[in-house]
Structure 1
Amino acid sequence: MKFGKELASQMVQEWREAYMDYKHLKKLLKNILKSREKNALPSSVSRCGFSKRNSTLYRSFSGLMGRDNCAIKSEDEVILVNQVQPGSSENDWFYQTIFLKSSEDGGEEESHFFKILDDEYNKVLRFYKEKVKKVILQAEELSKQMDKLVSLRIEVYKPLMEQNVNHQEVESSDPEPEEGPAINIVQELGRSSENASEETPKCDDRGQDSPLWPASLSSLDHVKINIETNGPLTTLKKVIKSMKKSDITYRIEDLRRAEEKLRRAFVEYYQQLRLLKRYRSSNMSAFSKIMKKFDKITSRKASSSYLHMIDKSYLGSSDEVNKLIERVEATFVKHFSNGNRRKGVKLLKPRNKMERHRTSYLLGILTGCSVALVVGIIVAIHARGLIRHDGGEQYMNNIFPLYSLFGFIFLHMLMYGVNTYLWRQFRVNYTFIFGFRSGTELGFREIFLLASAFSVLTLVAVLSNLDMEMDPRTQRFQTLTELVPAGLVMVLLLITFCPFNIIYRSSRFFLIRCAWHCLFAPIYKVTFSDIFLADQLTSQVQAFRSLQFYICYYGWGDFKRRSNRCLESKVYEILYIVVAIIPFWSRVLQCLRRLFEEKDLKHGINSLKYLSTVVALVIRTIYGFRRGTFWKIMAASSSGVTTVFNTYWDIVMDWGLLQKTARNSWLRDKLLISNRAVYFVAIIVNILLRLVWMQLVLDFNEAPFLHRRSMIALVACLEILRRGIWNFFRFNDTSTTLPLQRKNFACITSWPRSSSIMKMPEQLTHCFKN
Structure 2
Amino acid sequence: MKFGKEFISQMVPEWQGAYMDYAYLKTLLKEIHLFKFKTKPPQSTTNAQGLTRRLTLYRAFSGLTQRITSPGISSNTNDIESQPILVNSVKKSDGEFGLETMFLMTGDEGGEYELVYFRRLDDEFNKVIKFYRGKVDEVMKEAAVLNKQMDALIAFRIKVDDPHYEWPDSAREMTRLASDVAASTASLAASTPGMKASRRVTVMDMIEEDRSLEAQSDEPSADQEKGKQGNKFVQGLKAMNSKDYDDQKEVFNENRGTGQELKPMSNMRTKRPAPLEILNRVTINNTLETPRSSIRGILNVPNQTELKFSKENLSKVEDQLKSAFVEFDHKLRLLKSYSFLNIMAFSKIMKKYDKITSRYASKSYMKMVESSYLGSSEEVTKVMDRVEATFIKHFSNSNRKKGLSILRPKAKRERHRVTFSLGFFAGCTITLIFALVLLIHARHIMNKEGQRKYMVTMFPLYSLFAFIVLHMLMYAANVYFWRRYRVNYPFIFGFKEGSALGYREVLLVAFGFAVLALASILANLDMEMDPKTGDYKRFTELLPLGVVLIAFFVIICPFNIIYRSSRFFILTCVFHCICAPLYKVALADFFLADQLTSQVQALRSLEFYICYYGSGDYAHRDSSCSSSEIYNIFHYIVAIIPYWSRLLQCLRRLVEEKDGMQGLNGLKYFATIVAVTTRTAYSRSHSDEWYKIAWVASGVAAASGTYWDLVLDWGLLQRNSKNRWLRDKLLIPRHSVYFGAMVLNVLLRLAWLQTVLDFRVSFLHKETLITIVASLEIIRRGIWNFFRLENEHLNNVGKYRAFKSVPLPFHYDEDEDKQG
Which amino acid in structure 2 is aligned with residue 103 of structure 1? G
The answer (yes or no) to whether the contact 1:363–1:452 under 8 Å persists in 2 is: yes
The answer (yes or no) to whether the contact 1:402–1:549 under 8 Å persists in 2 is: yes
2:730 counterpart of 1:671? yes
Which amino acid in structure 2 is aligned with residue 711 of structure 1? L
2:790 counterpart of 1:719? no
The answer (yes or no) to whether the contact 1:32–1:110 under 8 Å persists in 2 is: yes
The answer (yes or no) to whether the contact 1:226–1:769 under 8 Å persists in 2 is: no
Aligned partner of 1:191 among 228, 233, 243: 243
Which amino acid in structure 2 is aligned with residue 600 of structure 1? D
2:2 counterpart of 1:2? yes
Which amino acid in structure 1 is aligned with residue 15 of structure 2? W
Matches within 5 A, 1:291-370: 291-370=350-429
Task: Look up the match of 2:810.
Answer: 767
- Measure how far apart 1:762 and its partner are: 7.0
- Measure how far apart 1:128 and its partner are: 1.1
Structure 2 Cα separation of the partners of residues 334 and 501 of structure 1 = 28
Which amino acid in structure 2 is aligned with residue 681 of structure 1? G
Query: Bigger CA drift: 655-664 or 368-377?
Result: 655-664
Task: Look up the match of 1:122.
Answer: 126
Aligned partner of 2:643 among 584, 587, 597: 584
The answer (yes or no) to whether the contact 1:272–1:760 under 8 Å persists in 2 is: yes
Matches within 5 A, 1:304-703: 304-466=363-525, 469=528, 477-556=536-615, 558-699=617-758, 701-703=759-761
The answer (yes or no) to whether the contact 1:522–1:593 under 8 Å persists in 2 is: yes
Aligned partner of 1:142 among 127, 139, 146: 146
- Measure how far apart 1:503 and its partner are: 2.6
- Measure how far apart 1:664 and its partner are: 3.4
- Measure how far apart 1:659 and its partner are: 2.9
Task: Look up the match of 2:75.
Answer: 70
Which amino acid in structure 2 is aligned with residue 422 of structure 1? F
Q: Secondary structure at the match of 2:163?
A: helix
2:25 counterpart of 1:20? no
- Measure how far apart 1:758 and its partner are: 7.7
Structure 1 Cα separation of the partners of residues 284 and 112 of structure 2 = 64
Superposed CA deviations along residues 628-651 of structure 1, whole A, max 9, x for unmatched, are 222122111111111122222222
Superposed CA deviations along residues 415-444 of structure 1, whole A, max 9, x for unmatched, are 122222222223333333333333444322
The answer (yes or no) to whether the contact 1:43–1:299 under 8 Å persists in 2 is: no
Aligned partner of 1:152 among 151, 156, 178: 156
Which amino acid in structure 1 is aligned with residue 243 of structure 2? R
Structure 2 Cα separation of the partners of residues 717 and 77 of structure 1 = 69
Structure 1 Cα separation of the partners of residues 358 and 767 of structure 2 = 74
- Measure how far apart 1:5 and its partner are: 0.5
Query: Bigger CA drift: 598-607 or 267-276?
Result: 598-607
Superposed CA deviations along residues 606-629 of structure 1, whole A, max 9, x for unmatched, are 222211111111011111111122
The answer (yes or no) to whether the contact 2:494–2:804 under 8 Å persists in 1 is: no
Using a 3 Å threshold, how does the CA distance of structure 1 residues 473 and 109 change in structure 2: closer, same or farther? farther
- Measure how far apart 1:448 and its partner are: 0.9
Q: Secondary structure at the match of 1:95?
A: strand
Task: Look up the match of 1:96.
Answer: 100
Structure 2 Cα separation of the partners of residues 493 and 762 of structure 1 = 33
The answer (yes or no) to whether the contact 2:640–2:676 under 8 Å persists in 1 is: yes
Structure 1 Cα separation of the partners of residues 655 and 661 of structure 2 = 12
Structure 2 Cα separation of the partners of residues 69 and 76 of structure 1 = 7
- Structure 2: segments with no counterpart, 5+ residues: 45-54, 57-66, 68-72, 167-239, 248-262, 814-820
The answer (yes or no) to whether the contact 2:646–2:666 under 8 Å persists in 1 is: yes
Superposed CA deviations along residues 188-233 of structure 1, whole A, max 9, x for unmatched, are 96624899xxxxxxxx99x999344331222222432003323223
Q: Secondary structure at the match of 2:101?
A: strand
The answer (yes or no) to whether the contact 2:612–2:623 under 8 Å persists in 1 is: yes
The answer (yes or no) to whether the contact 1:226–1:766 under 8 Å persists in 2 is: yes
Structure 2 Cα separation of the partners of residues 233 and 473 of structure 1 = 59
Task: Look up the match of 1:256.
Answer: 315
Structure 2 Cα separation of the partners of residues 473 and 492 of structure 1 = 35
Percent of residue pairs identical: 49
- Structure 1: segments with no counterpart, 5+ residues: 45-49, 52-61, 63-67, 163-187, 196-203, 738-751
Using a 3 Å threshold, how does the CA distance of structure 1 residues 684 and 245 change in structure 2: closer, same or farther? closer
Structure 1 Cα separation of the partners of residues 710 and 401 of structure 2 = 48
Normalising by structure 1, we get a TM-score of 0.84
Using a 3 Å threshold, how does the CA distance of structure 1 residues 756 and 729 change in structure 2: closer, same or farther? farther
Using a 3 Å threshold, how does the CA distance of structure 1 residues 602 and 252 change in structure 2: closer, same or farther? farther
Structure 2 Cα separation of the partners of residues 189 and 613 of structure 1 = 67
Structure 2 Cα separation of the partners of residues 727 and 611 of structure 1 = 21
Structure 2 Cα separation of the partners of residues 688 and 707 of structure 1 = 23
Using a 3 Å threshold, how does the CA distance of structure 1 residues 344 and 552 change in structure 2: closer, same or farther? closer
Which amino acid in structure 2 is aligned with residue 74 of structure 1? I
Normalising by structure 2, we get a TM-score of 0.79
- Measure how far apart 1:12 and its partner are: 0.6
2:293 counterpart of 1:234? yes
Using a 3 Å threshold, how does the CA distance of structure 1 residues 645 and 245 change in structure 2: closer, same or farther? closer
Using a 3 Å threshold, how does the CA distance of structure 1 residues 245 and 445 change in structure 2: closer, same or farther? closer
The answer (yes or no) to whether the contact 1:519–1:586 under 8 Å persists in 2 is: yes
Structure 1 Cα separation of the partners of residues 544 and 457 of structure 2 = 11
May I ask how many residue pairs the two structures share in their alignment? 698
Structure 2 Cα separation of the partners of residues 114 and 400 of structure 1 = 70
The answer (yes or no) to whether the contact 2:282–2:810 under 8 Å persists in 1 is: no
- Measure how far apart 1:523 and its partner are: 2.4
Query: Bigger CA drift: 452-461 or 336-345?
Result: 336-345
- Measure how far apart 1:554 and its partner are: 2.4
Structure 2 Cα separation of the partners of residues 43 and 696 of structure 1 = 77
Q: Secondary structure at the match of 1:229?
A: coil
Which amino acid in structure 1 is aligned with residue 158 of structure 2? I
Using a 3 Å threshold, how does the CA distance of structure 1 residues 619 and 573 change in structure 2: closer, same or farther? same
Query: Bigger CA drift: 241-250 or 611-620?
Result: 241-250
Superposed CA deviations along residues 515-568 of structure 1, whole A, max 9, x for unmatched, are 222212222333332222211111100001111112222233733332323222
2:139 counterpart of 1:81? no
- Measure how far apart 1:732 and its partner are: 1.3
The answer (yes or no) to whether the contact 2:469–2:514 under 8 Å persists in 1 is: yes
Superposed CA deviations along residues 377-415 of structure 1, whole A, max 9, x for unmatched, are 111111222233333332222221111000001111111
Which amino acid in structure 2 is aligned with residue 512 of structure 1? L
The answer (yes or no) to whether the contact 2:14–2:793 under 8 Å persists in 1 is: no
Structure 2 Cα separation of the partners of residues 246 and 541 of structure 1 = 43
Q: Secondary structure at the match of 2:655?
A: helix
2:29 counterpart of 1:29? yes
CA RMSD of aligned residues (A): 3.2
The answer (yes or no) to whether the contact 2:536–2:620 under 8 Å persists in 1 is: no
Superposed CA deviations along residues 317-374 of structure 1, whole A, max 9, x for unmatched, are 2221112111211222222122233332332213211222111111111111110110
Using a 3 Å threshold, how does the CA distance of structure 1 residues 760 and 493 change in structure 2: closer, same or farther? closer
The answer (yes or no) to whether the contact 1:469–1:475 under 8 Å persists in 2 is: no
Structure 1 Cα separation of the partners of residues 467 and 593 of structure 2 = 16
Structure 2 Cα separation of the partners of residues 112 and 336 of structure 1 = 53
The answer (yes or no) to whether the contact 1:535–1:587 under 8 Å persists in 2 is: yes
Which amino acid in structure 1 is aligned with residue 162 of structure 2? K
The answer (yes or no) to whether the contact 1:333–1:340 under 8 Å persists in 2 is: yes
